[in-house]
Structure 1
Amino acid sequence: MASEYINQWIRIEEDGIYLVFGVTKENQLKLFHFSAKPLSEQEEKKLTENETFLREGFQLVQVNFSGYNRPYEKHGNKHIVTAPGYMLTFVDMKDERNETGRVLTFIQKDEETGARVVTTWQFYQGTTTIRMQSEVTNEGTEVQTLEYISSFYYLGIEKEGEMSSDDKMQLTFAHNGWQKEMNFHTYSFPALGLPQTQPTVYQRTSKTIELTNTGNWSTKEYLPMGYLSNEEADTAIYWQIEHNGSWHAEISDQNDHFYLALSGPTEVQSHWFQNLKPGESFTTVPVAVGVSDADFANAIGQLTKYRRMIRRVNKDDENLPVIFNDYMNCLFGDPTTEKELPLIDAAAEAGCEYYVIDAGWYAPGLWWDSVGEWQESRERFPGGIKEVTDYIRGKGMVPGVWLELEVMGINCEKAKNAPDDWFFIRHGKRVFDRSRYQLDFRNPAVIDHVNEVIDRVVNEYGVGYIKMDYNIEPGIGTELDADSVGAGLLAHERAYLAWLDSVFKKYPDLVIENCSSGGLRIDYALLSRYSIQSTSDQEDYQNYASIAVNAPAGLTPEQAAVWSYPQRNGDKEETIFNMVNAMLLRIHQSGHLAELSPERVELVKEGISYYKEIRSDIKKALPDWPIGLADTRATFLCGALKTENKAYLAVFRRDKDEEDDRTMVRIPLTHLFEGEKKLSVKLAYPQEAMKENVEYTYEADRKVLAVDFKKKVMARIFEVTAE
């Protein structure tokens, strides 16, 4: 469609993604459309009929330097009409392909500030997801201070359809916290403080919807991802910010439209700024943004495919071995040779393939504030830890140990003797948190230290698995050798990623688990490297079910480690429930297996055996939630994994609501498979035991599975086969 204000249209359809760009008569590049559906002529006309709106909005990138006026509508801390963001002019666009898919490269420049911005959009063939980054270079003659730059910015997220944003827009995201991981909820814009209060005039408000992290625990409050749906238009945008530190996602309004802005650290939120001398550049953290219909499971399916594509190729995510770890509801950080040997025997007998000695192996007694040297404790292991790791290997399992390499305790002798530049520094002093110091991975001496530990546990102790924990939050960053404390933090985090890459290059078959007090760093900067992620430190198996059901939205199923820890004083139904928590993800077996009754041990063995039969499907399956995402207070939960012709359902009944005395849950299966297929259902785990406590029927005409649980706390695995 012609527009007097647009000199050039750029229309792209790729992998189910519809994009529309325009170059204005003032030679500015604008992004008008990013959707799973084409841009209608009516919508296109509305977007381009107001010259003022065109000038002020629809930038591809927001970038802000200190000391330049922002003359247009801003209102508060919004990251819009940035300078030189609104002044950038179009230089060139490249349209190429590589082995991954299509690549679009956009080049823009501002003569006044000397800013040159190169934005790269990498498509991933077979998904509706694009990975995006921008690089800003100072091509001027003066130092420029960068305060903000977006990795993705899109104005007009609500434009499709005629209904009010109050009625059609919904935002789904995950609250995340210690023992409260993966807590997904869906909100309307009014519920988050952005109602339509001026329906006949331009939308202008100082209010923003912000999902933000500041610090090194990247997911201590939210997962760095979201899903934004337009229910009227049946379209959605989903995203993840791939960074292991400070990040910011923002939704608000500008000139009668709403926008989505994604970035790494910012000055306002994260105490971050970066000085760019002439010739210097800065590259944003990567983000992934994709489109789908207004169906959360479909969107997460696309994101799951993408996550598998960007992940380091590794045997762990191919083979999905069963891991025993001695910590949770078991030894709880108090291991000894005497305690380990019967557990090792029991784990091997149950069918576990890895055995991890968790925290405490390196120090007698209380060890929290003295960690840092990671030498074996002969008080705990009189014959040395290698005696135990050799015993593990003799039982046919791969041994592992717990480490927390990014910290040193304040009473660690090595920390007392190390120079201050080993650590985060603010206000001239070492940064404390929970009696620990944060090591700075920009320092080569720190890298030498952690490499020595890795080499020792692998080569001397015979370890093939490392549980890499991280239990502090050092805050906004470090002032040492940095323009800002946030810049110091970002440089450290990028150095940590580079170090991880070097470890996996040296030891490609070493399995390293990403653990941060459970799930407080579930991000795809780390998970594109680590093969497996701790999802929680949740100690209550009923509460863990909520986390387990929702986990495949936050990461791929084969990376999501879930504890199964049968209780010493539990019963058979409790054991089954524990196993079902983990069986569609990655089994992190624990609990005092050597002290369970024979009947309960058999249920553990049966669960692990069945898991080994289906794990080849788990690594390629996509998630679904037939009765919705799990709520922490819900009585019934159901999580599903589906392949082309097979689905696996974990179904739970919990004692969470005194007023909810229902025993039956009805689970629609119509969403699991495309097309009209005949379905059959069977109870898969446990196959024979405890059948008297559950009845189920499959209503073929409605494609509904009805499950009637006879006890208040129960769980089962069902298989659904499509023909």
Structure 2
Amino acid sequence: MTVPSLDWVTSGFAVRFRIGPDQPVALVSFVPSGGALSDGPADPQPLVELTTVGHGRFPGGFRHVDSTVGARLRYVSHTATDGADASAVVVTGPEVRIVQADAATGLQTVSVFRAHDGVPAFRTWTEVRAERGEHVVDFVSSFASGAWLTDSGADVDDLSLAHADNDWSAESRWRTDRLREIGLARIDREAQHHPPRSRAVVQNRGSWSTGEALPIGVLTGPGYALVWEIEHNGPWLYELGETRSAAYVLLSGPTDQEHQWTAVVTPSAPFTSVLVSVGIADSVDGAFGVLTAQRRASRRTRTADAAMPLVFNDYMNTLMGDPTTEKLLPLIDAAADAGADLFCIDAGWYAEGHWWDTVGAWEPAASRFPGGLSVVVDHIRSRGMQAGLWLEPEVIGIHSPLASTLPDDAFVQHHGVRVAEHGRHVLDLRSPAARAHLDGVVDRLVGTLGVTYFKMDDNTMTGPWSGSVDGGRALLAWLDDVQQRYQELLIENCASGAMRADQAMLSRLHIQSTSDQQDPVLSASIAAAAPAAMLPEQAGNWAYPAPGTSPERFTLSLVNGVLGRMYLSGYLNEMTDGQRAVVRSAIAAHREVLGVLGTAVPVWPLGLPGWEDPWVALGLAVPDGDLYLSVWSLPGGPPSVALPLAGYAGRSVSVTALFPTEAAPWTVSWDASAGVLHVDDGGTTPTARVFRVRTEGADAER
């Protein structure tokens, strides 16, 4: 018997949904454009999993599949933006909506899928509605499927997951694990008469959306890679497990079980789950190429974003939160002489003394700026640079006067009690009073003082919070409004480094601080891995050369910033003429990369960087065929490494040093037949270089 299905065919991929009358809808096949769709297993993973208080799972367990409501959902209708009627079995538009209903509870779900032209990925989410009654939803998936197993012919034993732990000053620690080694126990399914109940889970708790892990995964099998990203600026979870006959991946925002989150759904109050993106490729590098294209297609940009200014920030290994007019003026002159486009005054500008638990008003400290902060801002502009300020808008110190003058509903609360963490309260941007306070701060600093850049930090994390989804969306709405009012204002996303580096924030902000790490050697793997978590043109990598360090360490600290958005710091005013020349050379190399950064695709010839890898490499492949390649030799490794560059195998290439312009003492040689670039560090470590790899004859062709 043939089960009815719906095929969605776009310029980037094709998807098949099973829509039989006696089963919930399931996404059973997902292939790149031109691939052959399959019908999937007899008992596919339902597209939607949904639990409420009173309607849980069967069989019970910790997994979020096998929900009783999800199993009872039945297809009602579908619509597509190509205008096809509900009887169409193939739709081609950029959006598909599939409605299901559970007769027992009166709940309806709408699964929304949205595609971008030519990108083998889609965005999807779930809308939950109630025809009657009140329902306390404690879990709803944004996406669930096991399609990749059928399409690839892989077994669970063949599958591995690439994922990344994240922490303060230790961001983007990638590793690849076989599913059997991270939770999916092999059992005799037939003997047990039930599916396995084990699962592999990656999640993040609290308001730091990337404080524990990145919301990104790549599931790989032979010649197949499924990639996903959860686009939420709060808690989230993804889960992998097995059904009776196959396996599944499930993506969601917060849950009651893991995050103490619920939502009440009534006929007048629906709920929309968090957005997720899912893509298909044939390798890990290919998967991140797909994710890069998806991020670019989904990002909201303005004219101001296209400028991509080179930012000097006075904080890291420099003023460290202690700016004054006296200290800033020589740094401003040195930054301008080096070629910076924008000077950002970091933390401390608002503080007369101890400030951590008293912040919130964001008024300049008179003792730091005897003539007023405007004197410093005017000097920045007089040197041809834009002016920026560090700002942590969402917090109010527990000893700030604003903690008592703002109403209770202006703050994040849990069980009716105002949350206090690390000496701070956190503003709830759903509150008109909280929003009015921040609007006043922005109007004063941008509209009056003339600042055109905010380093927006977030150093205080809330714990469990039932309003985390709506509160996160209110923050995004506020940011959208601010940038609509001030079209020239650029906002950097920062949260103790990259503790909130999610795509919900990155889709609308200019640049992402990739770390608070102060050691340039430890920063190397963070910088190399950054384009896996964000667009290359948003990866704000610190480059903080120090006057007293060795030449190779000085160079390495600048290499960290070349392939991305160089975020310059350091006492440039105390450097020798030779050191300042090296800085200018790094900036020149970076500006060459900036010219192609918005079209570049990241690749990792040595694989995704591990935290303690002795050799690390990041490449940016650009459409004209060039490859910009940063290579780091770190302590503890051999003096040489072989870098596979498969796309150049069998071709004659030129490898030139981009920064520094002389590779010595490094040496490089190209093995065309093997497609391998051999690199030797000349016996120096830690050390790093940036190369340009170009097919010979390409210059003439251009």
Shared fold (TM-score greater than 0.5)? yes
State yes or no: 1:60 paired with 2:47: yes
State yes or no: 1:597 paired with 2:585: no
Instruction: Quote the residue 1:466 is aligned against.
Output: 454
Question: Which of 670, 679, 687 lines up with 2:646 in the alignment?
Answer: 670
Q: Percent identical across equivalent pairs?
A: 36
State yes or no: 1:47 paired with 2:41: yes
Structure 1 residues 267-286: aligned runs within 5 Å:
267-286=256-275
Alignment partners' CA distance in 2, 1:558 and 1:475? 32
| Counterpart amino acid of residue 390 in structure 2 | W
Structure 2 counterpart SS, 1:525: helix
Alignment partners' CA distance in 1, 2:55 and 2:681? 65
Q: Would the alpha carbon gap of residues 680 and 180 (structure 1) be closer, same or farther in structure 2, given more than 3 Å must change? A: same
Instruction: Quote the residue 1:304 is aligned against.
Output: 292
State yes or no: 1:264 paired with 2:253: yes
1:234-272 CA-partner distances (Å, limit 9, x unpaired): 112110011000111111122232111111111111111
Instruction: Quote the residue 2:430 is aligned against.
Output: 442
Question: Which of 613, 624, 631 lines up with 1:634 in the alignment?
Answer: 613
| 1:35/1:236 contact within 8 Å kept | no
Shift of 1:162: 5.7
Structure 1 residues 159-170: aligned runs within 5 Å:
159-160=150-151, 164-166=155-157, 168-170=158-160
Structure 1 counterpart SS, 2:214: coil
1:596-641 CA-partner distances (Å, limit 9, x unpaired): 1211111001111221122111111000001111122122111000
Shift of 1:22: 2.1
Instruction: Quote the residue 2:280 is aligned against.
Output: 291
Alignment partners' CA distance in 2, 1:169 and 1:84? 29
Question: Which of 352, 355, 360 lines up with 1:372 in the alignment?
Answer: 360
Q: Would the alpha carbon gap of residues 206 and 199 (structure 1) be closer, same or farther in structure 2, given more than 3 Å must change? A: closer
| Counterpart amino acid of residue 533 in structure 1 | Q
Shift of 1:157: 4.2
Alignment partners' CA distance in 2, 1:692 and 1:116? 66
State yes or no: 1:401 paired with 2:375: no
State yes or no: 1:415 paired with 2:403: yes
Alignment partners' CA distance in 2, 1:615 and 1:464? 21
| Counterpart amino acid of residue 540 in structure 1 | D
Instruction: Quote the residue 2:88 is aligned against.
Output: none
Instruction: Quote the residue 1:713 is aligned against.
Output: 686
| Counterpart amino acid of residue 570 in structure 1 | T
Instruction: Quote the residue 1:480 is aligned against.
Output: none
Structure 1 counterpart SS, 2:209: coil
Question: Which of 192, 198, 220 lines up with 2:211 in the alignment?
Answer: 220
1:363-392 CA-partner distances (Å, limit 9, x unpaired): 112211111000000100111111001000
Instruction: Quote the residue 2:73 is aligned against.
Output: 88
Alignment partners' CA distance in 2, 1:357 and 1:163? 53
Instruction: Quote the residue 2:232 is aligned against.
Output: 243
| Counterpart amino acid of residue 587 in structure 1 | M
Alignment partners' CA distance in 2, 1:81 and 1:9? 22
| Counterpart amino acid of residue 297 in structure 2 | M
Shift of 1:113: 1.1
Alignment partners' CA distance in 1, 2:409 and 2:266? 25
Question: Which of 636, 654, 659 lines up with 2:634 in the alignment?
Answer: 654
Alignment partners' CA distance in 2, 1:434 and 1:18? 49
Instruction: Quote the residue 1:489 is aligned against.
Output: 468
State yes or no: 1:499 paired with 2:499: no
Shift of 1:430: 2.0
Q: Would the alpha carbon gap of residues 93 and 428 (structure 1) be closer, same or farther in structure 2, given more than 3 Å must change? A: closer
TM-score (norm 1): 0.91
| 2:110/2:127 contact within 8 Å kept | yes
| 1:314/1:531 contact within 8 Å kept | no
1:196-229 CA-partner distances (Å, limit 9, x unpaired): 2327656733322111122110000111111011
Shift of 1:709: 1.1
Shift of 1:19: 1.9
| Counterpart amino acid of residue 31 in structure 1 | L
Structure 1 counterpart SS, 2:480: helix
Alignment partners' CA distance in 2, 1:61 and 1:39? 25
State yes or no: 1:145 paired with 2:136: yes
| Counterpart amino acid of residue 708 in structure 1 | D
1:9-32 CA-partner distances (Å, limit 9, x unpaired): 223443342322223242642322
State yes or no: 1:531 paired with 2:510: yes
Shift of 1:116: 1.7
Structure 2 unpaired stretches of 5+: 84-91
Query: RMSD of the TM alignment (CA)?
Result: 2.0
Alignment partners' CA distance in 1, 2:664 and 2:233? 48
Instruction: Quote the residue 1:552 is aligned against.
Output: 531
Shift of 1:426: 2.8
| Counterpart amino acid of residue 204 in structure 2 | N
| 2:494/2:500 contact within 8 Å kept | yes
State yes or no: 1:177 paired with 2:167: yes
Alignment partners' CA distance in 2, 1:425 and 1:20? 43
Structure 1 residues 513-528: aligned runs within 5 Å:
513-528=492-507
| Counterpart amino acid of residue 439 in structure 2 | N
State yes or no: 1:103 paired with 2:95: yes
| 1:35/1:237 contact within 8 Å kept | no
Alignment partners' CA distance in 1, 2:578 and 2:512? 31
